[in-house]
Amino acid sequence: MRLITLDDFKDTLLKGKQRGWDFILSKFTFQNNARTKSAFNSSAVISANWWEIPYVKKRWNKMMTNDEHQNYKQYLMETVLKDHSNLKLLSLGSGTCSHELELAQYKQFEAITCVDLSEYRISQAEKKAAQNNLQNISFVCSNIDNFSFKEDHYDVVLFNASLHHFRHVDTLLSEKIVPCLTSSGLLVINEYVGPNRLQFPKAQIQKINKGIQLLPKKFRRRYKSSLYKNSFSGSGLLRMIIADPSECVDSSSIMPSINKHFKVIIEKPYGGNILMNALKDISHHFIDLDDEKTKALDAIFEFEDEYLKHNPSDFVFGVYRKPEH
């Protein structure tokens, strides 16, 4: 693992410009929960990450559902859960609950419970639910250790970009998630499942750097900066722990643990091995596309597809069933 990298200094400077120096100063505390909360409490709109790009979202949809216009939640409701009713769903680490609020609009759900430790995000979600008159969704601001799991109660447990923030994934799944699911209950994930603490192997870092060079220089100017992105060295372990002690803390255990405790119903890898880091801090260039930008993204998409032929995906959408006893 790399303790400190050149990108640690670059990214700290950029975060100060993008999110303000108060955000950087919030990291200087010995309380792990406080540092984790500060990573998610910000109300600032960040347009520097790959998940902001509509064309990338279409790629994900295609890889998850075979339809670039259908997201995984629509696919889930129109296939796996199509004929179900009175469903109870638990979402852990739900953030602003945008995915859960979308699911709450389906009549199949009797109750959706969202749990997150960020007061700000939970309050925002509560406002949106009230605005949309959604009566079947509730919100709990809590650490998972303090949350009371109901045994044999939930039909679906959802982790959307949150499971990689939990320690001891195998214990969480076996001792908390399996018991709280009904006999036919489902685990649904849309997750980063790559190396712990984003400690990518050297071969992957080399490919990411090649991917960056596929993009014209004018599209590599970093968000809210005059600097250009010419290379990627990865995140140092020290910065990862300081910035957010929960970030990818046990992510490499996710797939082995799920396969150990659940039966696969649907499993759709959708890459991210190259795109996530190549497009970080420069994604704002690709929010609105023209022919040149589309061509550039197509080139790096093709480059990642070739990489995925020989390497496991860093991101997976999956649906898994509780095993029968």
pLDDT of residue 323: 86
Cβ atoms of 71 and 61 closer than 8 Å = yes
**Which residue blocks in the chain are alpha helix, DSSP H?**
6-19, 21-25, 32-41, 54-65, 72-78, 98-103, 119-131, 169-172, 178-180, 202-213, 237-243, 254-261, 275-278, 291-308
pLDDT of residue 243: 81
Domain boundaries, given as residue ranges, for the chain:
6-321
pLDDT of residue 244: 87
Distance, CA of 123 to CA of 120 (rounded, Å): 5
pLDDT of residue 23: 45
pLDDT of residue 3: 80
pLDDT of residue 37: 47
Q: How many CB atoms lie within 10 A of CB 164?
A: 25
Cβ atoms of 253 and 189 closer than 8 Å = no
Distance, CA of 200 to CA of 234 (rounded, Å): 7
Cβ atoms of 33 and 143 closer than 8 Å = yes
pLDDT of residue 35: 39
pLDDT of residue 38: 47
Architecture of the CATH domain 6-321: 3-Layer(aba) Sandwich (3.40)
User: Among candidates 323, 324, 319, 322, which has minimal Cα distance to 72?
Assistant: 319
pLDDT of residue 31: 53
Tens of each residue's pLDDT in the chain, 325 residues: 788 887 877 677 666 655 554 544 454 555 555 434 444 444 344 568 999 999 999 999 999 999 999 999 999 999 999 999 999 999 999 999 999 999 999 999 999 999 999 999 999 999 999 999 999 999 999 999 999 999 999 999 999 999 999 999 999 999 999 999 999 999 999 999 999 999 999 999 999 999 999 999 999 999 988 999 999 999 888 888 888 899 999 999 999 999 999 999 999 999 999 999 999 999 999 999 999 999 999 999 999 999 999 999 999 999 999 988 6
pLDDT of residue 237: 82
pTM to 2 decimals? 0.89
Residue 206's contacts (CB-CB under 8 Å, 6 or more residues apart) are none
